Amino acid sequence: MHSGDKLEVSFLTWNIYLGSDFTPLINATPEQIPERVTQSFRLFLATNFPVRAKAIAKEIEAKKPDLIGLQEAVRWELIIPAFGTVTYDFIEILLEELEKRGLDYKVAAKNEGLERELPDSNGNLVRFLDRDAILVRKDSDFKIIRRQEANFQTNLIVPIGGQPVTILRGWSSIDVKQDRHVFRMINTHLEPAVEAIRNAQANEMIQGPANTQLPVIITGDLNATPNSTTYHLFIHAGFQDVWNQVGEGPGFTAHQNPDLLNAASLLNRRIDYILFKNGWKPIEAERIGESQKDRTKTGLWPSDHAGVSARLKVTIYDDGEDNPSCST
């Protein structure tokens, strides 16, 4: 094994917000479900992802990251009898907006989580699919040589309409090769409501895809502040926090109001991260989508989260084999 050249890579992580609030559905009776589904879907329409995608694409254009970790890159469907299905695919909508700006990205990996179909009060069905995704810029020299996509074994279960519903979450990862040099990127969205479940999900990642000798990056909404147990699980596993190394200020990333129309920013917690280990050296880190100038023409914040972008260098080692040896 001999030393290779230093490689510089740019990353972006952003929870782009599913556009609604499902809290009223929890503990709702079967009779209450249709009206509450209608309320949730109307909020989704009001937060107007096609418009927000333009603002998100503008921020991505300013950074042109090599790799992007997206959380809540969801798909909504309104199924109207005798008419058809209206689909809002966040990934497709965002890729189209990026392409309009001359940026060509593709989906490198994607994990699917919670999927549910419920009736609304208008005689329609609303179908929802939660997804997280990794995007790679097509004009980069990176080759994806391995991808992994999995759901967590431990997930939150809540009652909806008298039935237990698993809020399924997970992670995806890619091994990226340039020439004979390889690194791993993992993207995830951890459970926000219950710390014990969140910690179990973090440990699944640490013992799974993050258990490697490769240079590794984790992007994601960890739903955990820097003083939390979840955060320190990653730190004790050898990860470092890009923002702590090169970010300026507190770096708050969450949360704006569910309708995205709060006049002043309400970001007051840092829960979105780019973590690294095994040879990376951070160069710079910035938040995006957090200032008044980033809002849409209709006043919407791009998301209820700010994104985090970073550039890092890494000395990568060539083991003389086409495929990296790792413990996962």
pLDDT value at 94 more than 80: yes
Contact assessment for residue 125 and residue 134, using Cβ atoms and an 8 Å cutoff:
no
pLDDT score of 6:
83
Average pLDDT over residues 60-86: 98
Over residues 124-178, the pLDDT tens digits come to: 999 999 999 999 999 988 999 999 999 999 999 999 999 999 999 999 999 999 8
Amino acid at 174: I
Where are the chain's structural domains? 2-318
pLDDT score of 179:
80
Q: For residues 302 and 311, what is the distance between their CA atoms, to the nearest angstrom?
A: 22
pLDDT value at 184 more than 80: yes
Query: CB neighbours of 326 closer than 8 A, spacing ≥ 6?
Result: 175, 184, 212, 213, 214
Closest CA to 34 of 118, 160, 117: 118
Dihedral, CA atoms, 204, 148, 132, 244, nearest 10 degrees? 60
pLDDT value at 323 more than 90: no
Contact assessment for residue 259 and residue 46, using Cβ atoms and an 8 Å cutoff:
yes
pLDDT value at 305 more than 50: yes
pLDDT score of 308:
98
In what helix (H) or strand (E) does residue 159 lie, and over which residues does it extend? strand 156-160
pLDDT score of 5:
72
Closest CA to 15 of 249, 302, 207: 302
In what helix (H) or strand (E) does residue 145 lie, and over which residues does it extend? strand 143-151
Q: For residues 280 and 66, what is the distance between their CA atoms, to the nearest angstrom?
A: 16
pLDDT score of 325:
37
Domain 2-318: homologous superfamily in CATH: Endonuclease/exonuclease/phosphatase (3.60.10.10)
Q: What percent of the chain has pLDDT over 70?
A: 95
Q: Which two tokens stand for residue 260?
A: 């995205």
| Least confident window among 70-84, 215-229, 302-316 | 302-316
pLDDT value at 316 more than 70: no
pLDDT score of 255:
97
pLDDT score of 253:
98
Cα four-point dihedral sign 86, 90, 94, 95: negative
pLDDT value at 319 more than 90: no
The confidence band for 317, taking pLDDT boundaries of 50, 70 and 90, is: low
Average pLDDT of every residue of the chain: 94
Over residues 1-36, the pLDDT tens digits come to: 334 578 899 999 999 999 999 999 999 999 999 999
Over residues 141-151, the pLDDT tens digits come to: 899 999 999 99
Contact assessment for residue 185 and residue 217, using Cβ atoms and an 8 Å cutoff:
yes
Q: For residues 76 and 44, what is the distance between their CA atoms, to the nearest angstrom?
A: 9
* Cα Rg of the chain (Å, integer): 20
Closest CA to 173 of 146, 152, 199: 146
pLDDT score of 328:
37
Q: What percent of the chain has pLDDT over 90?
A: 91
